[in-house]
Structure 1
Amino acid sequence: MSDESVQKPASTQKPFSTPEMVALEAELAVTRAQLASTVDELVARLDPRAQAGRAVASVGHLWSDATSSDAAPDARKKAIALIGGAVAGVAALLALMVAARRKG
């Protein structure tokens, strides 16, 4: 074989590119960065510890609205209704559990 028929190793060959390819690669890099940011945000939102912290803060705010005389009347009424509904729901669930246990 002659030296002309031997191909150069891939590392020494220049890759072929056009301005369109360069633009597409840049667009893909931007899209990849946006997607990574979105995934990171979703992971943070779905983290159980973060969700529990938000729930505790929400309940604390709700309790504050229900018990504080400084709260707006609408916010206080809504907080009392939500807390009352939650208490009624827990009471109904406990009553159902007691009734099921007595039957069984």
Structure 2
Amino acid sequence: MSDESVQKPASTQKPFSTPEMVALEAELAVTRAQLASTIDELVARLDPRAQAGRAVESGRQIWLDATSSDAPPDARKKALAVLGGAVAGVAAVLAIVVAAGRRRG
């Protein structure tokens, strides 16, 4: 047997590559990086602690706008409307609970 008749394993052969394949691989790498960035941003936005923090901060700002005389008129009007809606919602829920309690007892 001669050395010429023995084939090399496939893993040591150089892969076939064209400029188009290289460009597609580069585009794929960019797309993967963008996808990873998008996923990281979504995870940060959907984090329950971060959402709770934003909700608390929004509530504080609404309260400050409603109670502060230094708030711009539009912000104060919006804050009062939001707080009035919240009070009306709580009153409606309480009325439903009381009515349901009277039906049972």
For normalisation by structure 2, the TM-score amounts to 0.91
Aligned-partner residue type, residue 79 of structure 1: A
The residue number in structure 1 matching 2:80 is 80
Counterpart of 1:8 in structure 2 is: 8
Q: For 1:19-98, what aligned pairs fall within 5 Å after superposition? A: 19-98=19-98
- Measure how far apart 1:42 and its partner are: 0.4
Moved more, 53-62 or 6-15: 6-15
Question: Deviations for 1:58-96, whole angstroms, at most 9, x for unmatched residues?
Answer: 000000100111000111011011101101101101110
Alpha-carbon shift at residue 11 of structure 1 (Å)? 2.5
**Which SS does the other structure have where 2:57 is aligned?**
helix
* Secondary structure in structure 2 of the residue aligned to 1:8: coil
1:17-71 CA-to-partner distances (Å, cap 9, x unmatched) read 0000000000000000000000010011011111000000000000010011100
Q: Which runs of 5+ in 1 are unaligned?
A: none
Q: Aligned residue pairs: how many?
A: 104
The amino acid of 1:49's aligned partner reads R
Between the two proteins, what is the percent identity of the paired residues? Answer: 84
Amino acid at match of 1:86: A
- In the superposition, the TM-score normalised over structure 1's length comes to 0.91
Query: How far is the alpha carbon of 1:6 from its aligned partner?
Result: 4.3
RMSD: 1.6
Q: Distance in 1 between matches of 2:7 and 2:98?
A: 82
Which structure 2 segments of 5+ residues have no match? Answer: none
Q: What letter is aligned with 1:63?
A: W
